[in-house]
């Protein structure tokens, strides 16, 4: 059974259960997540809104409603939802990350940077926080700063393969071929089958 078929089967089962318990917030939330996973964002938003109305202080429901709104490119509404999550749990890292993403996609790069940077300060042991900030800086063409963030991600988590890949890519774009190859090889030590690194190494050596 494919993952999509499995999700549809779960949705059908939830709908059957909702016939007996139409105001069960958890079932409604799970139904909304099912629609979200299928890419049926408008349906996900409608259903997750119902879950939030039934349980307005549930940060998981608010977070997933924010995710559905973000996927539907309703960034300002998504931002509002993520702030509701943060009102409940100020250190909710996934909500902070997605909040920063939404600000960036809505065109407020300054606010996005502020939040991505803030996450690295409240979660200094979280390698992904440095990686995400690095990606933002890379998208902003701040390559040297991005590489520093990727290096911090590796310092925090030595097996962070994607950070090795991105450093190697930046170095290859700067024609620092030997250094790029070195980082690509280090990345392959952590994940020898990584297709992205294998392809990047091939391009570096061409």
Domains of the chain: total:
1
pTM of the model: 0.91
> Looking at the domain assignment, is residue 131 inside a domain?
no
> Looking at the domain assignment, is residue 133 inside a domain?
no
CATH code (residue 30):
1.25.40.10
> Looking at the domain assignment, is residue 151 inside a domain?
no
User: Which residue in 169, 168, 170, 163 sits closest to 149, CA to CA?
Assistant: 163
* pLDDT at residue 206, as a whole number: 87
Tens of pLDDT, residues 132-190? 999 999 999 999 999 999 999 999 999 999 999 999 999 999 999 999 999 999 999 99
> Looking at the domain assignment, is residue 123 inside a domain?
no
* pLDDT at residue 1, as a whole number: 58
Share of the chain above pLDDT 90, in %: 99
Tens of pLDDT, residues 93-132? 999 999 999 999 999 999 999 999 999 999 999 999 999 9
- Domain assignment of residue 41, given as a range: 1-86
Reading the block at residue 142, the tokens are 């701040």
> Looking at the domain assignment, is residue 120 inside a domain?
no
């Amino acid at each position: 059974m494919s993952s999509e078929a499995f999700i549809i089967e779960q949705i059908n089962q939830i709908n059957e259960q909702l016939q007996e318990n139409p105001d069960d917030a958890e079932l409604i939330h799970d139904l909304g997540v099912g629609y979200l996973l299928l890419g049926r964002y408008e349906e996900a938003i409608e259903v997750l809104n119902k879950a939030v109305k039934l349980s307005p202080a549930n940060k998981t429901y608010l977070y997933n409603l924010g995710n559905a709104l973000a996927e539907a490119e309703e960034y300002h509404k998504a931002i509002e939802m993520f702030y509701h999550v943060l009102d409940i749990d100020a250190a909710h890292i996934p909500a902070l990350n997605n909040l920063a993403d939404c600000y960036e996609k809505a065109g407020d790069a300054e606010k996005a940077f502020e939040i991505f940077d803030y996450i690295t300060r409240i979660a200094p042991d979280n390698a992904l926080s440095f990686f995400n900030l690095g990606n933002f800086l890379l998208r902003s063409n701040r390559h040297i700063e991005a590489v520093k963030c990727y290096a911090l991600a590796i310092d925090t988590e030595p097996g962070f393969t994607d950070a090795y890949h991105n450093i190697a890519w930046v170095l290859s774009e700067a024609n620092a071929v030997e250094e790029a190859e070195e980082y690509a090889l280090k990345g392959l030590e952590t994940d020898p089958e990584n297709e992205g690194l294998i392809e990047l190494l091939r391009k570096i050596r061409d």
